[in-house]
Structure 1
Amino acid sequence: MARIPAFLRGAAIAGACSWLASANAVQAATYGAGIENSQWYLSESVFECTLVHQVPGYGRAVFRHRAGESLSFFLESETPMMRPGRGMLVVEAPSWRPGTAPRPLGRVNVDDSRRPVSLDSRLAMSMVQGLLEGMDPTVTRESWYDSSPVRVKVSNINFAGQFSGYRACTSGLLPVNYDQVKRSRIPFSSGSTSLSGADRELLDDIVAYVQADSTVERIFVDGHTDSSGSRIDNRALSEERANVVAEYLIGEGVDADIVTVRAHADQYPVSGSPADNRRTTIRLQREGERPDLQQASGYDAATPNT
C-alpha cells in the first residue's frame, strides 16, 4: 500500500481540526458525562465482555468483545440525534486540561439505526488508548433536525479501573461464540470417514461452547455423501461419517442424550461439486429455537446449507 505523503497527512489533520473548531464555534449540542456522573459498568461472562458507559441525554457508549471476535464499539440511542452520513471521531482533552490539541482518528459512518455509530477493532482500540491517556473520544455529526453539530463525548473518568477488569475477562472468553458454531461442516475425501487435525479443532471448539451454554438442548449431526457409488453403500458411508463426528463429540464430554445422528446418503446435495457434498454437518439448537421447516423424514431442510 502506498504511503500518504507527510504534507497530505498534515493537511488532513489540519482539516479535521479546522472542522472540529467550526463545530465548536457553532452552538453545538454536546452530550457527555461530567466528573460527578461518569461511570463505567463491566459485564463479564465466558461468552462476552462489555464495558458500558451512560451518556446523559444521549444513550450509551459500549465496548464489546464477543468470544471468537475482536473488540468493537458502538453508540446506542433510542432517539435519532445525528443525521446519517459521515461524522468525525477525535480524542480530545477534557475541559480541565486546556491547551492539549485534539487528535483526529478519522471519519465514521453514522446511520439511522438504534446504534448509529459502530466501529471496528482498530478504531475501538484507538479510543481505548485515548481513554487510558485521560482523553475523551468524541463523535461529531450534523444534527438530525438542522445543520447544527451534535457532539457525543465518551468520558475517561473511572474508565481505567474497569478496563483492568475487562482485560481479565477477555482472557477467559470461549474460543468461539454461538453464531460461529451453530452451523458447522466437516468435509471428507472420497470414501473417507477420517477426521483431520483441523476437524478435531473445530469439534473441540463446539464441545467447549456446548459445555458452557446450558441452553443448547439438541445437536443434530447429519452425514452426507456425493452421488458416486450405490445408494446402499452411500447410506452406510453417510451414517459412518455422522457417527465418527458424534462419537468424537460425546467422547470429549458432550451429553449423548442431546445428540441426534442422521444419515442421508446423496439425497441432499448442496452443489454440483462432489467435494462439497461429501460432508457431515453439525447444527446446534438452543431452547426455544425450532427449525422453520421439518420434513416428514425428520430431516431439517436447513441442515445441508450449513
Structure 2
Amino acid sequence: MVRLSTLFPRTAALASMVLMGASGAALSSSFGAGIENSQWYVSESVFECSMVHEVPGYGRAVFRHKAGEQLSFYLESDTALMRPGKGSLVVEAPVWRPGAAPRKVGAVNVGEGRRPVALSSRQAMLIAQGLLDGMTPTVTRESWYDRSPVRVRVSNINFAGQYESYRACTTNLLPVNYDQIKRSRIPFRAGSTSLAEGDRELLDNIVTYVQADSTVERIFVDGHTDSSGSRIDNRALSEQRANAVADYLIEKGVPQDLITVRAHADQYPASRRPADNRRTTIRLQRQGERPELQQANGYEAGYSG
C-alpha cells in the first residue's frame, strides 16, 4: 500500500519528507501501487511501443522500445524527490508474497530532470523478467531533502497480460526510427556511381520508413565528388550519383514528387579525405521542420557531409 496520500500526491510527498527531516528519523518514503490501483497501459505504433505504469505519489514507470533501438526503462516524476547520485535496484517480493529472496540487480544512476532514472537494456530486461516472475523491482536513493531513503516500487499486478500486447507490438516495429535515417550517407568509390549491397539495405529502410510516416514531406538527395577531376566532369558525376540514389528510391515506391535531386560536384567537401567527399546524402524533412536545416553545405548542426 502507498504510505502517502494519493489525493494530493506531490504535496503529501513533500510534506512527509519535511516532517521526517524535522524529527531526524531515518524513515523511508515508499511509493508504489497496491493491488487495488495497479494498472499498466500499452501504447502501440510501428514507430514505438511503450508500457506505462502509474506510481501513486511519485509519477510513472515506463518501458519503451523505439523502432531500430533496444528496450529501455525509466522513471518519470514532475517533482525532484531523489538526490542525484548512485542508487540501488533490487527485485524483491511484494508485501503479499513473503519469503521470496530478493535479487540485487545493481547500482543505478539517479540524475536530475523529469526522468531521473533511465536504465540500460539489460537492466530493463531484468526488471521485466522480475515482474513476470511476480516480483517487485524497487529503486532506492536518498531524498533531496534529507538522508532518508526514497523507495519507488514497480508493481507486477496486471503486468503479464499487458506485456503480451507489448511484445506483439514490438514484432511490428519499423527497422529504423526517424533520428537514425533523417540524415544518411551513401559512399562511392572513385569514379563510381554504383550502389553496394549495404547501400541498398539502407535505402530500403528509408523507403520503409517514408511509406509509414505521412509527415515526411521532402527528401533531399545531394550528390558530391572529391576534387580530383575537372569541375564539369565532377558536376556530371555528382548528378549521376544523386540520380542513382533517387532512381532506387522511386523504383522501391517513394513518390517522385517528394524527392529533390541536387548535384554539387566538389563544392561542399565533408573533410580533407577524398573518400569522405565521394558521396550522396539523403535528408528527410518532416512537416514543420525548418528548411534551412536541409542545406547541402555539410555544416548544419549535428551533421557533416
Same fold (TM over 0.5): yes
Q: Distance in 1 between matches of 2:267 and 2:192?
A: 18
1:169, distance to aligned residue in structure 2 (A)? 0.4
Gaps of 5+ in 2: 1-24
CA distance in 2, matches of 1:174, 1:78: 31
In the other structure, the counterpart of 1:305 is 304
Tell me which residue corresponds to 1:39: 39
For 1:122-133, list aligned pairs within 5 A. Answer: 122-133=122-133
1:6-27 per-residue CA deviation (whole Å, 9 max, x = no partner) reads xxxxxxxxxxxxxxxxxxx941
The CA deviation at 1:290 is: 1.1
Alpha carbons of structure 1 residues 241 and 252: separation in structure 2 relative to 1, 3 Å: same
Amino acid at match of 1:208: T
- 2:215/2:286 contact within 8 Å kept: yes
Deviation at 1:100, TM superposition (A): 1.6
Whole-Å separation in 2 of the counterparts to 1:202 and 1:302: 22
Shift of 1:301: 5.1
Letter in 2 for 1:157: I
Secondary structure in 2 matching 1:305: coil
Matches for 1:163-242 after TM superposition, within 5 Å: 163-242=163-242
- Asked whether 1:137 is paired with 2:143, we answer no
CA distance in 1, matches of 2:112, 2:135: 27
Please state how far the C-alpha of 1:99 moved relative to its aligned partner: 1.5
The normalised TM-score by structure 2 is: 0.89
Tell me which residue corresponds to 1:17.
none
Aligned residues: 280
What is the aligned partner in structure 2 of residue 51 from structure 1? 51
C-alpha distance in 2 between matches for 1:132 and 1:229: 63
Q: Deviations over 1:249-299 (max 9, x none)?
A: 01100011010000000000011100000000000000000144677xx86
Return the TM-score normalized by structure 1. 0.89
> What per-residue deviation string (whole Å, max 9, x for no partner) do you get for residues 65-117 of structure 1?
00000100000001001000000000010001112221100000001111000
Quickly say closer, same or farther: Cα 1:182–1:80, change in 2 above 3 A.
Answer: same
Identity %: 74
RMSD, aligned α-carbons? 1.6
Q: Unpaired runs of 5+ in structure 1?
A: 1-24
Distance 2:99 2:269 in 1: 66
Q: Does 1:249 align with 2:262?
A: no
The AA in structure 2 aligned to 1:302 is E
Following superposition, the deviation at residue 305 of structure 1 comes to: 1.6
Q: Do the aligned partners of 2:26 and 2:147 also contact (CA within 8 Å) in 1?
A: no
Per-residue CA deviation, residues 105-160 of structure 1 (Å, 9 max, x unaligned), is 00000011110000111000000010000001000000011000000000000000
Secondary structure of 1:123's aligned partner: helix
**Residue of structure 2 equivalent to 1:148:** 148
